[in-house]
């Protein structure tokens, strides 16, 4: 921790409360106030009244002389080692979210890649791995994130498979599951991945039962999680196996994360997954979404689009997208369709209003019944 800012600010507020003397824990049982261990010189200073440490700014706590610079065993930290696999195009939140969780649990987290040269993660982030596959310490936990994965990269796959034989847990986030599948680690197991990649993983890993509608799947030594932020939930779950749910909940609260272990948010349950084909067809055009809302049973999306198409051309394009791409069936009413999903019937209705010569306001409303 750096001292410049807090030293100036809090020294003015707390002048005169530090004795600068370290007493021995013998007959003196008078109450003193200590700074939580932070690694600075203030760890050994006695304060005569509560307040904020003038050096590090941390809130002082009541104690007795002789316990300075001591950290008791609180069972709120784990000494496990976590190896985070990196590769070009790795998704940032896939590894940074779980990294924060594991680190907050006291685990030693380090990155490892094919080489320790700087690589480009998603969105242009430059990272220099701590280790290469050749010299990385053996971890207790392997974290395999997703992103621009290449399951044919045997360098990554072989290291994961080889190291998995020595580790306690291997956890994937998002499409990182493809690396596990490529190494046969998901054979005869149940797994998940990012919702848009569910069907691809089913085809890539025919010996695996691939499911959606879950935040993560725990097979024991292997844990797979869905996309992006779901990796944090899987990491919290893994931490809870070592520290228990109570300590893990405190860690989540300290990180200001709404960890819901009983009823977690699952994107694949939302009805918005059925409107993606509708949005995809607008890719070549300028558009703005003005409404995007719903729940498990319905969804409403309104798009203001600018396209050099007549009303007839626009409606024909959407009809082909719904019927040939999405597999919806035309119903009896104009601009309405039906389809099956999640074990029930769905209805879809399309409305459009022309705005100017080449502008339209298009609304798609879907609901299950």
Digitized pLDDT (tens) for each residue of the chain, 369 residues in all? 444 444 433 333 343 344 444 444 544 579 999 999 888 999 999 999 999 999 999 999 999 988 888 877 766 678 999 999 999 999 999 999 999 999 999 999 999 999 999 999 999 999 999 999 999 999 999 999 999 999 999 999 999 999 999 999 999 999 999 999 999 999 999 999 999 999 999 999 999 999 999 999 999 999 999 999 999 999 999 999 999 999 999 999 999 999 998 888 888 889 999 999 999 999 999 999 999 999 999 999 999 999 999 999 999 999 999 999 999 999 989 999 999 998 999 999 999 999 988 899 999 999 999
Boundary-marking domain end, from 214, 249, 266: 266
Q: Count Cβ atoms below 10 Å from residue 281 Cβ, excluding itself.
A: 17
Whole-structure pTM over 0.95, yes or no? no
Q: Given phi > 0 = left and psi -120 to 50 = alpha, else beta, which region is 323?
A: alpha
- Identify whether residues 289 and 355 lie together within a single domain: yes
Ordered alpha helix ranges (H), the chain: 4-14, 92-104, 154-164, 177-182, 198-204, 230-243, 245-254, 276-280, 311-320
Q: In the block, which residue shows the tokens 């999903």?
A: 341
- Within-domain flag for 112: yes
* Distance, CA of 40 to CA of 33 (rounded, Å): 16
Q: Count Cβ atoms below 10 Å from residue 78 Cβ, excluding itself.
A: 20
- Identify whether residues 162 and 225 lie together within a single domain: yes
- Identify whether residues 169 and 102 lie together within a single domain: yes
Q: How many domains does the chain have?
A: 3
Strand (E) or helix (H) holding 125: none
Please give the C-alpha separations between residue 150 and each of 89, 124, 155, 188, in angstroms, as whole numbers: 10, 18, 10, 22
Residue 89 has which token pair?
Answer: 């195009």
Strand (E) or helix (H) holding 301: strand 298-306
- Identify whether residues 293 and 338 lie together within a single domain: yes
């Amino acid at each position: 921790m750096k001292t410049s800012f807090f030293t100036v600010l809090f020294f003015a507020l707390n002048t005169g409360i530090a004795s600068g003397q370290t007493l021995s824990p013998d007959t003196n049982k008078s109450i003193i106030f200590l700074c939580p261990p932070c690694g600075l010189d203030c760890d050994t200073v006695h304060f005569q009244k509560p307040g904020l440490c003038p050096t590090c700014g941390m809130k002082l706590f009541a104690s007795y002389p002789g316990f300075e610079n001591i950290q008791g065993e609180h069972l709120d930290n784990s000494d496990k080692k976590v190896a985070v696999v990196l590769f070009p195009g790795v998704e940032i939140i896939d590894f940074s979210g779980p990294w924060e969780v594991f680190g907050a649990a006291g685990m030693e987290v380090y990155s490892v890649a094919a080489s320790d040269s700087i690589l480009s993660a998603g969105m242009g982030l430059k990272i220099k791995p701590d280790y290469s596959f050749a010299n990385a310490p053996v971890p207790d936990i392997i974290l395999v994130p997703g992103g621009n994965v290449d399951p044919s990269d045997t360098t990554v796959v072989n290291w994961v498979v080889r190291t998995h034989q020595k580790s306690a847990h291997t956890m994937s986030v998002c499409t990182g599951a493809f690396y596990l599948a490529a190494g046969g680690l998901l054979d005869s197991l149940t797994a998940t991945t990012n919702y848009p990649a569910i069907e691809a993983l089913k085809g890539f890993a025919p010996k695996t039962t691939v499911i959606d509608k879950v935040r993560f799947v725990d097979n024991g030594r292997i844990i797979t999680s869905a996309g992006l932020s779901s990796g944090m939930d899987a990491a919290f779950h893994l931490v809870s196996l070592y520290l228990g749910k109570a300590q893990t909940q405190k860690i989540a609260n300290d990180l200001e994360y709404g960890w819901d272990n009983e009823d977690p948010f699952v994107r694949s349950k939302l009805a918005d997954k059925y409107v993606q084909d509708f949005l995809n067809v607008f890719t070549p055009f300028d558009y703005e979404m003005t409404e995007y809302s719903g729940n498990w049973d319905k969804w409403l999306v309104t798009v203001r689009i600018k396209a050099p198409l007549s009303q007839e051309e626009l409606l024909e394009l959407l009809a082909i997208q719904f019927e040939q791409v999405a597999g919806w069936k035309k119903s009896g009413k104009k601009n309405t369709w039906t389809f099956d999903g999640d074990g029930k019937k769905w209805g879809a209705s399309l409305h459009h209003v022309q705005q100017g010569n080449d502008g339209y306001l298009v609304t798609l409303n879907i609901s299950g019944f």
